[in-house]
Structure 1
Amino acid sequence: MAGEDTLRKTNRINMLFDIYGPLLTEKQQTFLGLYFHDDYSLGEISAEFEISRQAVYEHIKRAEQTLEECETKLGLLGKHEQRRELSEQIEAIFGQASLNGQDELKRLVRNLYNID
């Protein structure tokens, strides 16, 4: 369970980083990228940049907070997830090809366009 939560958090941070990364400081981008994308440990990053593990940890935590604040304000990841869910529903309906399915497909497409 803990491993699943860690993976879920890592995936979320990576997705937020892909969307909002340019809004972080250069150092935050570097440390977050090394930690979450490249799987470096805090110790490896601190040795590479000759700063304490605590300093690396603080940069990463502030970066995570900034990413979450951006998502709270802009909701781009949430909208992306809504689009993906609607797309999956549309794909499932394509396999049904009934008239009711076509009406449902039209409704889902309208929802997809109205997410923003």
Structure 2
Amino acid sequence: MREKSVRTDLLLDFYGNLLTPKMRRTCESYYNDDLTLAEIAESEGISRQGVHDTVKRAEKQLEEYEEKLGLLKLFEMQQAKAKIALEHIKSGDTDKAAKELEELIEEM
């Protein structure tokens, strides 16, 4: 569950502004503010089930945005290359680090 939560949180960072204001607000309360469904339901004036349905619809929408745009996948690939470059720097292999960083910059 935690891994999905981290993924959804990242998807919210990338695509949250594309959601409806209600979906965005509900997901931010659930994922970022760590509020329970009951707490969100009380503040929004809807049922706990309504909050659950909103979160699930938003998650589906976020996954669809990622499927079409791929920003999270691109970010993760760039992050992996940066980590490899850092490891090369730590090991003293600056030539390999420079090559990784050049590739990373070209992809951006």
Equivalent position to 2:52, from 57, 71, 74: 57
Is contact 2:27–2:55 with CA below 8 Å preserved after alignment? yes
Is contact 1:83–1:112 with CA below 8 Å preserved after alignment? yes
Is contact 2:86–2:97 with CA below 8 Å preserved after alignment? no
Which residue pairs with 2:41 in the alignment? Answer: 46
Which runs of 5 or more structure 1 residues have no equivalent in the other structure?
A: 1-5
Which residue pairs with 1:30 in the alignment? Answer: 25
- TM normalised by structure 1 equals 0.83
- Secondary structure, aligned partner of 2:55: helix
Aligned-residue CA RMSD (Å): 1.6
Is contact 1:90–1:105 with CA below 8 Å preserved after alignment? yes
Equivalent-residue separation in structure 2 for 1:72 and 1:114 (angstroms): 23
Which residue pairs with 1:3 in the alignment? Answer: none
Partner deviation per Cα, 1:8-42 (whole Å, 9 max, x = no partner)? 11111111101100000000011001111111111
Which residue pairs with 1:12 in the alignment? Answer: 7
- Secondary structure, aligned partner of 2:35: coil
Which runs of 5 or more structure 2 residues have no equivalent in the other structure?
A: none
Equivalent-residue separation in structure 2 for 1:57 and 1:44 (angstroms): 12
Partner deviation per Cα, 1:51-70 (whole Å, 9 max, x = no partner)? 11111111111111111111
Percent identity among equivalent residues? 33
**Greater radius of gyration (CA):** 1
- TM normalised by structure 2 equals 0.89
Q: Number of matched residues? A: 108
Equivalent-residue separation in structure 2 for 1:96 and 1:43 (angstroms): 50
Which residue pairs with 1:69 in the alignment? Answer: 64
